[in-house]
């Protein structure tokens, strides 16, 4: 078993390692090029369910027996949407941030997490990773407390750094997750790497304090070093 406070960081998403093993199931929402999914499989041998709505990306993701890949977006409701595929950043169900941004609209199916679990016949998810370019706000808004409480840990990137209108919504989500029984652990100075840890996992307050202080700032120093030296 992984030691006290052992955190893994994959594709700038952080989580506690000791809850992930060969029998774990990981939901990777916003697969992009599949790096997160394939690294989870390589390290832990777990099953990964990934979604990637951009066809050009979906087609290039390497297949694997332990990877179930769906060409859909995930959000707050089940319906068809126009996904905005931008020239210089990740695609989003939300619009451009400036008039100069170039984009192409691509029709895709959006489904809820509950629908994703139904389609993939998944009863238990050990780690939920969210990187869905702003759609996380609607996802949380439309998910019941009971549904969210089913996840031991959720690692996610909020996008209020890009969409300023979401700042208040992000604060509301953080407060709600604390209220319904999660430790909230930011591993970044903004909200680009946040971990929600379900208190039902038995993680102690002492470990949370250690994660919020020693681990967070050690990771920050490591990130700045990599940024400075390109590794």
Average pLDDT over residues 138-147: 96
Q: pLDDT at residue 223 above 90?
A: no
pLDDT at 99: 81
Our measurement of the distance from residue 122's CA atom to the centroid of its chain's CA atoms, rounded to an integer in Å, reads 18
Q: How far apart are CA 134 and CA 141, in angstroms?
A: 12
**What's the confidence (pLDDT) of residue 50?**
98
Model's pTM, two decimal places? Answer: 0.93
Whether residue 187 is predicted with pLDDT greater than 70 in this model: the reply is yes
Average pLDDT over residues 142-149: 96
pLDDT tens column, 188-222? 988 999 999 999 999 999 999 999 999 988 887 76
Q: How far apart are CA 192 and CA 60, in angstroms?
A: 25
The predicted pLDDT at position 34 comes to 97
pLDDT score of 100: 82
Whether 228 shows a pLDDT value over 70: the answer reads no
Is 141's pLDDT higher than 70?
A: yes
Model confidence pLDDT, tens digit, residues 90-108: 999 888 888 888 889 999 9
159: which residues sit within 8 A by CB, 6+ positions away? 92, 133, 134, 136, 166
The counts of H helices and E strands in the chain are 8, 12
| 185: three-class secondary structure by DSSP | strand
Nearest C-alpha neighbor of 16 from the set 217, 205, 198, 214: 198
pLDDT at 1: 53
**pLDDT band at 3; cut points 50, 70, 90:** confident
Q: Please state the rounded mean pLDDT for residues 3-18.
A: 93
Q: Mean pLDDT of all residues in the chain?
A: 93
- Average pLDDT (60-72) is 98
* C-alpha atoms less than 13 angstroms from C-alpha of 114 in its C-beta half-sphere: 13
Residues 68/48, Cβ–Cβ less than 8 Å: yes
């Amino acid at each position: 078993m992984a030691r006290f406070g052992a955190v893994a960081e994959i594709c700038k998403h952080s989580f506690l390692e000791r809850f992930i093993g060969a029998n774990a199931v990981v939901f990777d929402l916003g697969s992009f090029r599949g790096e997160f999914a394939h690294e989870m499989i390589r390290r832990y041998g777990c099953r990964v369910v990934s979604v990637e709505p951009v066809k050009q990306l979906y087609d290039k993701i390497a297949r694997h027996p332990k990877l179930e890949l769906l060409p859909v977006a995930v959000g707050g409701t089940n319906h068809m949407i126009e996904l905005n595929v931008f020239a210089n950043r990740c695609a989003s169900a939300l619009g451009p941030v400036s008039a100069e941004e170039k984009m192409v609209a691509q029709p895709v199916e959006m489904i809820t997490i509950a629908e994703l679990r139904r389609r993939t016949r998944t009863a238990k998810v050990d780690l939920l990773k969210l990187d869905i370019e702003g759609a996380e706000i609607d996802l949380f808004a439309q998910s019941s407390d009971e549904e969210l409480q089913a996840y031991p840990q959720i690692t996610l990137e909020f996008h209020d750094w890009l969409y300023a209108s979401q700042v208040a919504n992000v604060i509301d989500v953080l407060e709600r997750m604390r209220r319904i029984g999660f430790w909230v652990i930011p591993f970044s100075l903004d909200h680009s790497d946040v971990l929600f840890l379900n208190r039902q996992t038995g993680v102690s307050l002492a470990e949370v304090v250690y994660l919020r202080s020693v681990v967070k700032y050690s990771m920050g120093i490591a990130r700045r070093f990599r940024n400075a030296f390109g590794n």
